[in-house]
Amino acid sequence: MPYRAPVTDYEFLFRHVIGFDQVAGTERFAEASEDMVAAILTEAGKMSEEVMSPLQRPGDLEPARLENGIVRTSPGFADGWNAIAEGGWIGMSGNPEYGGMGLPMTVATSVNEMMSAACLSLQLAPLMSQGQIEAMEHHASDAIKDLYLPKLMSGEWSGTMNLTEPQAGSDVGALSSKAVPNGDGTFSVTGQKIYISWGDNDFAKNICHLVLARLPDGVPGTKGISLFVVPRNLPDDRGDAGVANSLKVVSLEHKMGLHGSPTCVMQFDGATGWLVGKEHGGMAAMFTMMNNARLGVGGQGVGVAEGAYQQALTYALERKQGKSAGGSIADHADVRRMLLSMKADVFAARAILLSCAVAIDMQTATADADWAARAAFLTPIAKAFGTDTGIAVADTGVQVHGGMGFIEETGAAQYYRDVRVTAIYEGTNGIQAMDLVARKMMDGGDAAARLLDEIEDHAEHARATLPELAESVWEATETLREATEWLVDQKDMNARFAGAVPYLRAFARVLGGHYHLVAALADPDGPREKLARFYINALLPEHAGLLAQSQNGAGDLYALNLEELAE
């Protein structure tokens, strides 16, 4: 089914829900007027619909393959990459000095979401470059920036991110790749990296790998890690891709989905690299890239959810079974429940995602510590809830199709297979939740409390117009506040970690209730209010069970020992 870019939904969110006027009101992003944003979203939507969406099935049916050490990409992907590059979508939030568009992250995130909905496996390629661009903008030397950034932003070269090793997955600090100084300012990088997305392709003239490795004097753990840019081809005197570097793609993974994206095992054998950031400061530099990518991956989840919802709705409107008022399965109560849940959760996840992007933009524009704390707090929620929603909505999409959902031709199953990994890469959703209840609460819960205060203030304001909905959101926020205080009081971190995942989901549920309420106020008696009513009455109550679970502590989890677990 052809994908239809939800540009009017973004416009509604920008105008009424996420407070984008604050971003447009800053000097930094003063050019991001409503008209300008609408024009950009329309153009990106058109490219997603017309160029990327037709590549979704070919990417699945004819996966990328390795031929004599070179990755051959799926049919049409090279043209797709060129269209993304020519539209300026790779460097859209990059510094204009190097050829970027300098757009707010809120706009870039919306564009990324549309591209993900249209063809997730191809969209992962520009997403990798974008993360690399941001890491270099913040941490690289001027010489590296001058050479790499214009080429990465124009799409002439592409970027990757090399963290994972067989023994170092979530535990990045366990990595064993080494970097040895060559004495001329360059380094010799050696090691094996696994699961490297877009580790090679046949459309960019050079592939720039950002690689985490340890210098000879690097201490064990994350504190001893440094970051290097290691290009597939060494830049020649003119800065063009020159002779081959000492690295290769060993093999491609056979995956459950995302077949169009080559996931590579990379071998670096004394490859020449250049330091990005400070020696042993690799994790700080990589975090810039990872935070960007976490938001991007959250957007992947939301995008796939949108695509899966559109496909399920179209099918439900055409499929006739049993006696229903309108003649199609869409009129059966249970199918309505599925469709409404999908639509309401797409809205909630998108509002959370874009609110996180607004906080990042405000942090960039104002350097205000509260905005920085807000951005940091919302990032794990946007990543985990966005991707969990992608998986849940794609799963429900299969169910709406009945047997046809299990048959590959409809494409419903592909959404599910493709999006499943988004809860795993860029830090599993379990790791995101632990980040939320540990690092993001090192302030004693201040960032959380400020957010909850705002939600309650808004609910108070909404009482006059929508008393029942406002009361439900207010009460849910109070329950969440109590659970947050309980978590902050736990000195045993394992007690927090045991409830981290349900807590993160409950936080997202309450945030979703808030954004639906804001939308309802902007559309009295209209479809937004009706959707908000469904979300707040039917989905928001989930928070209570989740919060009870989040305060159960770790005792019960360890009461059964490992032998008993295996019995």
Q: How far is the CB of 278 from ligand FAD (least distance, A)?
A: 21
Region of 162-170, 271-279, 462-470, 476-484 interacting with ligand FAD (CB under 6 A): 162-170
The residue type at 96: P
Q: How far is the CB of 550 from ligand FAD (least distance, A)?
A: 15
| Sign of CA pseudo-dihedral 288, 297, 220, 440 | positive
Phi, psi of 265 (to 5 degrees): -90, 125
**Is 149 within 8 Å of 137 (Cβ atoms)?**
yes
Q: Going residue by residue from 236 to 275, which x/- string records binding to ligand FAD, judged by CB under 6 A?
A: -------------------x--x----x------------
DSSP summary character for residue 326: T
Point out the residue whose Cβ comes nearest to ligand FAD.
169
Interface residue with ligand FAD among 169, 173, 242, 553 (CB under 6 A) is: 169
Q: How far is the CB of 197 from ligand FAD (least distance, A)?
A: 3
- Indicate the length of the chain as a whole number: 567
Residues 6+ apart with CB under 8 A from 355: 18, 19, 378, 382, 511, 515
Phi, psi of 404 (to 5 degrees): -65, -20
Interface residue with ligand FAD among 56, 164, 177, 292 (CB under 6 A) is: 164
Q: How far is the CB of 160 from ligand FAD (least distance, A)?
A: 6
Query: Nearest Cα to 340, choosing from 544, 530, 61?
Result: 530
| Sign of CA pseudo-dihedral 347, 348, 349, 350 | positive
Interface residue with ligand FAD among 53, 73, 93, 197 (CB under 6 A) is: 197
Q: How far is the CB of 167 from ligand FAD (least distance, A)?
A: 9
Active-site entry in 165, 306, 426, 529: 426
**Is 458 within 8 Å of 517 (Cβ atoms)?**
yes
Cβ proximity to ligand FAD, 274 vs 425, nearer residue: 425
Does 161 engage in binding with ligand FAD (CB under 6 A)? yes
Phi, psi of 117 (to 5 degrees): -65, -40
Cβ proximity to ligand FAD, 263 vs 396, nearer residue: 263
Does 211 engage in binding with ligand FAD (CB under 6 A)? no
- The token pair that represents 12 in the structure block: 């509604």
**Is 351 within 8 Å of 359 (Cβ atoms)?**
no
Does 75 engage in binding with ligand FAD (CB under 6 A)? no
The enclosing H or E element of 116 equals helix 105-118
Cβ proximity to ligand FAD, 185 vs 555, nearer residue: 555
Interface residue with ligand FAD among 425, 474, 507, 515 (CB under 6 A) is: 425
Cβ proximity to ligand FAD, 135 vs 354, nearer residue: 135
Does 430 engage in binding with ligand FAD (CB under 6 A)? yes
SS3 category, 512:
helix
Interface residue with ligand FAD among 154, 324, 428, 551 (CB under 6 A) is: 428
Distances from the Cα of 324 to the Cα of 78, 312, 337, 340, angstroms: 46, 18, 15, 17
CA torsion, ordered 546, 563, 430, 416, to nearest 10 deg: -90
Cβ proximity to ligand FAD, 51 vs 71, nearer residue: 71
The residue type at 284: A
Place of tokens 């169009």: 260
Specify whether 426 is catalytic.
yes
Q: How far is the CB of 421 from ligand FAD (least distance, A)?
A: 5
Interface residue with ligand FAD among 89, 187, 195, 415 (CB under 6 A) is: 195
Does 189 engage in binding with ligand FAD (CB under 6 A)? no
Number of residues that bind ligand FAD (CB under 6 A): 18
Place of tokens 């429900």: 396
Q: What whole-number distance in Å separates Cα of residue 160 and Cα of residue 157?
A: 10
Q: Which of residues 392-421 bind ligand FAD (CB under 6 A)?
A: 421
Does 196 engage in binding with ligand FAD (CB under 6 A)? yes
Active site residues: 426
Residues that bind ligand FAD (CB under 6 A): 161-164, 169-170, 195-197, 255, 258, 263, 421, 424-425, 428, 430-431
